[in-house]
Amino acid sequence: MRLVVLASGRGSNLQAILEANRRGELDVDIVAVFSDRADAPALAIARAAGIAADALDASAFATRAAFDAELLRRVAACSPDLVVLAGYMRIIDPAVLAPWVGRMLNIHPSLLPKYPGLHTHRRALAAGDHEHGASVHFVTAELDGGPVVARVALPIHAHDDAVTLAARLLPLEHRLYVGVIALAGTGRLRWREGMPQLDGQALSTPLVHDGQSSFIGADA
């Protein structure tokens, strides 16, 4: 499976995908990494792995839609089977995104539909939640609102703050995303008739990841 990754920051999910590929947990070909920030560490990670990496400057475009159109034009030139958002922090224009729905995944650090957007760890703590987590969803025009295909959860401890909670969640995020990409790479997870399917059946309830290496009750 040909993968293009979009990233804005440190690239920890990209690194996790690369390492899983080296270990044989994935069988994907990351053909390019694109960013909206020339100084994004994710680009350096890609280049060190011999992957084509480039950044586009949003300020060089008259509108957000123009930026997004050029970005996805470059993505399309790579002929990806799947586009993976790995800490990509820009909202994609709905009209530009439309042809890509069903071919683009995102990971979000909350148990969606709770806490779309930013500062999810802080918001979970402020709400007094007893658990927190991460979700992988297909990207649609609604912010963090596309169909959720899988999630992972962890308990919130009494001594947690936003920093410690984020640090405990991050390795679970990595394993969750690798697991979902593996399902897509083997063809088990697909987008059909406007919704996600697993093994040819509509996925009406998100898969639950055990935080280690498998999905509970999914024979995955």
- Assign domain 1-100 to its CATH architecture: 3-Layer(aba) Sandwich (3.40)
The CATH superfamily holding the domain 108-220 is Formyl transferase, N-terminal domain (3.40.50.170)
Is residue 220 pLDDT above 50, yes or no? Answer: no
- Work out the percent of the chain whose per-residue pLDDT is above 70: 98
| Cβ atoms within 10 Å of 17's Cβ, excluding its own | 23
pLDDT over threshold 60, residue 72: yes
Residues of the chain with CATH 3.40.50.170: 1-100, 108-220
Tokens of 118: 């930013």
Secondary structure, 3-state, 78-101: CCCCEEEECCCCCCCCHHHHHHHC
Distance CA 200, CA 19 (A): 29
Question: What residues are labeled active site?
Answer: 108
Q: Is the pTM for the entire model greater than 0.85? A: yes
Element of type H or E holding 51: none
Dump pLDDT digits (tens) for 74-115: 999 999 999 999 999 999 999 999 999 999 999 999 999 999
What span, in angstroms and rounded, lies between the C-alpha atoms of 149 and 130?
Answer: 22
Under a CB-based contact definition with an 8 Å cutoff, are residues 1 and 184 in contact?
Answer: yes
